[in-house]
Amino acid sequence: MTSLTHCHAFFDFQDTGVGKSSIVCRFVQDHFDHNISPTIGASFMTKTVPCGNELHKFLIWDTAGQERFHSLAPMYYRGTAAAVIVYDITKQDSFHTLKKWVKELKEHGPENIVMAIAGNKCDLSDIREVPMKDAKEYAESIGAIVVETSAKNAVNIEELFQGISQQIPPLDPHENSNNGAIKLGRQTSQTGRRCC
């Protein structure tokens, strides 16, 4: 018997253009769109992946980067199990903005939130502005997962979500804590098949 765990990943309000939507699209649909349209507000997708004997269902909010949506951020990160914070390895500014969002999550996010940092566009490493060493040191200092990804070339996307899956603690089936935002639950399933 395989159990299905509903977990929830939240994509931060990082600057538009770092590749958040492309990462979600690659993960959920294994597709890359060069002309992907910008996210307005937030979009929502799900994908279930096997993790050991369990199935983990990701409920993913891909949130818009524009400043005008900043005040909506707590609506998405409240009650969430994990946050993926994306920067663009070719844009130092995006790495600074990432730190701002980590600070906000630490101060106002759920206590045990799993944080994952994704340095996207690693296919453009010849024009990189953010050394991998800096990202690793920073991630270590805040206890976050870190990985360099390329949504374009499908590099480390599965690994990013597998890493999160492994760190999210199993949910208590008797606990029905839904503090007004995200519902987390656990149910049994007979199948180990992947689905979106």
Distances (CA, A) of 169 to 28, 147, 184, 193: 22, 20, 12, 22
Is 56 a binding residue for ligand GDP by CB under 6 A? The answer is no
Tokens of 84: 């993926």
Q: Which of 5, 39, 80, 165 binds ligand GDP (CB under 6 A)?
A: 39
Contact assessment for residue 78 and residue 29, using Cβ atoms and an 8 Å cutoff: no
**Closest residue to ligand GDP: CB criterion:** 19
Cβ 121 to ligand GDP, closest distance in Å? 4
Q: Which of 2, 3, 4, 16 binds ligand GDP (CB under 6 A)?
A: 16
Tokens of 26: 């690659």
H or E element at residue 73:
helix 73-77
From the list 14-22, 137-145, 157-165, 174-182, the region that binds ligand GDP by CB under 6 A is 14-22
Q: Quote the CA–CA distance of 90 and 92 in Å, as a whole number.
A: 7
Is 84 a binding residue for ligand GDP by CB under 6 A? The answer is no
Contact assessment for residue 115 and residue 145, using Cβ atoms and an 8 Å cutoff: yes
Cβ 82 to ligand GDP, closest distance in Å? 18
Helix (H, G, I), strand (E, B) or coil at 49: strand
Is 19 a binding residue for ligand GDP by CB under 6 A? The answer is yes
Q: Quote the CA–CA distance of 185 and 4 in Å, as a whole number.
A: 9
Q: Which of 29, 30, 31, 38 binds ligand GDP (CB under 6 A)?
A: 38
Is 196 a binding residue for ligand GDP by CB under 6 A? The answer is no
Tokens of 44: 């929502």
Q: Which of residues 105-144 bind ligand GDP (CB under 6 A)?
A: 120-121, 123-124
Q: What residue ranges bind ligand GDP (CB under 6 A)?
A: 16-22, 34, 36, 38-39, 65, 120-121, 123-124, 150-152
